[in-house]
């Protein structure tokens, strides 16, 4: 009598699937609609991997051929901020969003704080215009060698480095209830950049100019201290701490301007 062997057959990972529900929009003026996709599962997949698969094979779960989904990406390591979108009702980076961490279906939608260009692509000009408004840079003449710049104390440099991690992803603006189409509020990211550049020894040359900008319409006064921004920020930047510090700086600047700097002691 021959010996019979019973083998246990494991279900290969290729038979598992991931379901995406994606909000589509063909143009800025067109009406949004939803499409459902079912793609093969792979270990350690992120949302971007799923979008790449759909781009190569744009067929919905019910077998309908459709146009490839449009989205933005660049670094794929949570540095550039380009791939921001709403994933299961939360704004975040799709490159660091692992499929295994989400309940299915995984629902993808564009950030609605910004105008939609197409599908998951949005126009973040509102945020970049705000950065221009607050002069979020250090204006120096780089046409010749200026030598070494001024040194920052190590303790100050450490917290300034935390603010410099901002990748202008727009997630904090999406999470903030005060940033909307009925408000001119510039949002947490540009405000935090004001604190960063005002703290720099060279950037401080334009400190008063930046403070004046955020004391105008759409500036500090529009913040409702909801603190959603600091929770949503992918980089863990202390945005509310920056806003609190700027409120103090703005108050000091206001009193100096009112009474005259000659009579004020910093």
pLDDT tens over the chain, length 266 residues: 444 444 444 445 447 999 999 999 999 999 999 999 999 999 999 999 999 999 999 999 999 999 999 999 999 999 999 999 999 999 999 999 999 999 999 999 999 999 999 999 999 999 999 999 999 998 877 777 878 888 889 999 999 999 999 999 999 999 999 999 899 999 999 999 999 999 999 999 999 999 999 999 999 999 999 999 999 999 999 999 999 999 999 999 999 888 875 554 44
Can you tell me the distance from the alpha carbon of 172 to that of 188, in angstroms, rounded to the nearest whole number?
6
Helix (H, G, I), strand (E, B) or coil at 56: helix
Instruction: Tell me phi and psi for residue 13, to 5 degrees.
Output: -60, -25
Sequence ranges of the chain with CATH classification 3.10.20.30 = 13-122
pLDDT digits (tens, 9 = 90+) for 150-186: 888 999 999 999 999 999 999 999 999 999 989 999 9
Domain with CATH 1.10.1060.10 in the chain: 125-137+151-263
CATH T-level fold of 13-122: Ubiquitin-like (UB roll) (3.10.20)
What is the predicted pLDDT for the residue at 4? 43
Assigned CATH class of 125-137+151-263: mainly alpha
Q: Taking the chain, what is the end-to-end CA distance rounded to the nearest angstrom?
A: 98
| pLDDT for position 189 | 97
Quick check: 91 and 233 in contact, CB under 8 A? no
By the 8 A CB rule, do 171 and 92 touch? yes
Greatest Cα pair distance in the chain = 107
Q: At 39, list the tokens.
A: 């793609």
- Written as six digits, the tokens of 57 are 């094979």
The predicted structure's pLDDT at residue 145 = 80
């Amino acid at each position: 009598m021959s010996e019979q062997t019973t083998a246990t057959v494991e279900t290969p990972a290729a038979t598992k699937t991931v379901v995406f529900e994606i909000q589509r929009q063909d143009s800025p003026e067109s009406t949004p609609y939803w499409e459902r996709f079912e793609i093969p599962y792979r270990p350690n997949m992120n949302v971007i991997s799923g979008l790449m698969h759909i781009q190569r094979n744009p067929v919905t779960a019910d077998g309908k051929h459709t146009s490839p989904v449009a989205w933005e990406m660049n670094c794929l390591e949570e540095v550039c901020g380009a791939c921001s979108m709403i994933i299961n009702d939360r704004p975040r980076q799709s490159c660091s969003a692992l499929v295994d961490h989400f309940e299915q279906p995984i629902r993808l939608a564009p950030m609605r704080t910004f105008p939609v260009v197409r599908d998951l692509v949005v126009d973040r000009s509102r945020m970049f215009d705000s950065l221009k408004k607050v002069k979020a840079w250090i204006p120096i003449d780089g046409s010749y060698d200026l030598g070494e710049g001024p040194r920052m104390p190590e303790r100050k440099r450490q917290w300034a480095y935390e603010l410099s991690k901002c990748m202008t992803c727009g997630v904090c603006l999406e999470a903030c209830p005060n940033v909307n189409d009925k408000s001119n509020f510039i949002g947490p990211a540009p405000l935090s950049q004001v604190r960063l550049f005002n703290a720099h020894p060279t950037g401080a040359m334009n400190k008063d100019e930046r403070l004046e900008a955020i004391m105008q319409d759409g500036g500090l006064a529009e913040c409702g201290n909801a603190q959603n921004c600091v929770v949503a920020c992918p980089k863990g930047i202390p945005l509310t701490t920056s806003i609190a510090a700027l409120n103090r700086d703005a108050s000091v600047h206001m009193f100096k301007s009112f009474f005259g700097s000659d009579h004020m002691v910093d």
